[in-house]
């Protein structure tokens, strides 16, 4: 059977290729046409910044908490944990579901906040409308000087005088 590679030899070649790929150094320059390697910390930094920017209309305090320095430190801390569990930004942020979530979540949160404010306004208006009418005290019924005094053009006199 000339010209055919045995399955064992093909399996051996696959194993050698895999071993070479796993041992290939990260320090090798990219081949012509190959994209430059992406820094995982920079990817996480861009992702966190995007999430903060998307959620900020609904949660306006986020940029004060997640400053650029804070995001950079958080991204650097995420990389070793993500490597440990085999996570990457593409695996987490990829797919149409994440795109939908990035648009729908802030919109839903903004809608909830707006609805809550509207309900509070409706409740306040209803409370004012349902309140009993104010009691009007006739001006003659009570003097500003007290019950037993009357203003008679500059002189105070008792009511019975």
Tokens of 57: 């209309």
* Domains of the chain by residue range: 38-100
Q: Which residues contact 68 (CB under 8 A, 6 or more apart)?
A: 49
Say what the pLDDT of residue 38 is: 77
Q: Which residues contact 4 (CB under 8 A, 6 or more apart)?
A: none
Is the Cβ–Cβ distance between 55 and 106 less than 8 Å? yes
Say what the pLDDT of residue 161 is: 58
Long-range contacts from 77-84, C-beta under 8 angstroms, 24+ separation = 78/41, 78/44, 79/40, 79/41, 79/44, 82/40, 82/44, 83/40
Burial of residue 75 (CB within 10 Å: 0-12, 13-18, 19+) is buried
Tokens of 42: 């920079």
Q: Which residues contact 98 (CB under 8 A, 6 or more apart)?
A: 92
pLDDT at 85 over 80: yes
pTM comes to 0.46
Tokens of 5: 């590679």
Quote the CA–CA distance of 52 and 71 in Å, as a whole number. Answer: 10
Quote the CA–CA distance of 42 and 82 in Å, as a whole number. Answer: 13
Is the Cβ–Cβ distance between 55 and 112 less than 8 Å? no
Say what the pLDDT of residue 106 is: 74
Backbone angles phi and psi of 150, in degrees to 5: -135, 145
pLDDT tens for residues 23-67? Answer: 555 566 766 777 777 788 898 898 899 888 888 877 889 999 999
pLDDT tens for residues 111-152? Answer: 888 899 999 998 888 776 666 776 766 655 555 555 555 556
């Amino acid at each position: 059977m000339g010209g055919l590679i045995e399955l064992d030899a093909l399996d051996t070649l696959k194993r050698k290729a895999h071993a070479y790929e796993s041992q290939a150094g990260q320090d090798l320059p990219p081949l012509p046409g190959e994209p430059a390697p992406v820094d995982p910390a920079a990817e996480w930094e861009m992702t966190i910044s995007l999430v903060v920017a998307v959620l900020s209309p609904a949660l306006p305090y986020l940029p004060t908490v997640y400053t650029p320095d804070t995001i950079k430190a958080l991204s650097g801390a995420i990389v070793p944990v993500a490597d440990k569990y085999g996570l990457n930004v593409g695996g987490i942020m990829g797919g149409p579901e994440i795109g939908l979530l990035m648009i729908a979540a802030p919109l839903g949160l903004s809608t909830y906040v707006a609805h809550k404010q509207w309900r509070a306004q409706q409740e306040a208006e209803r409370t004012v409308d349902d309140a009993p009418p104010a009691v009007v005290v006739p001006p003659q019924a009570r003097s500003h000087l007290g019950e037993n005094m009357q203003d008679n053009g500059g002189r105070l006199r008792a009511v019975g005088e």
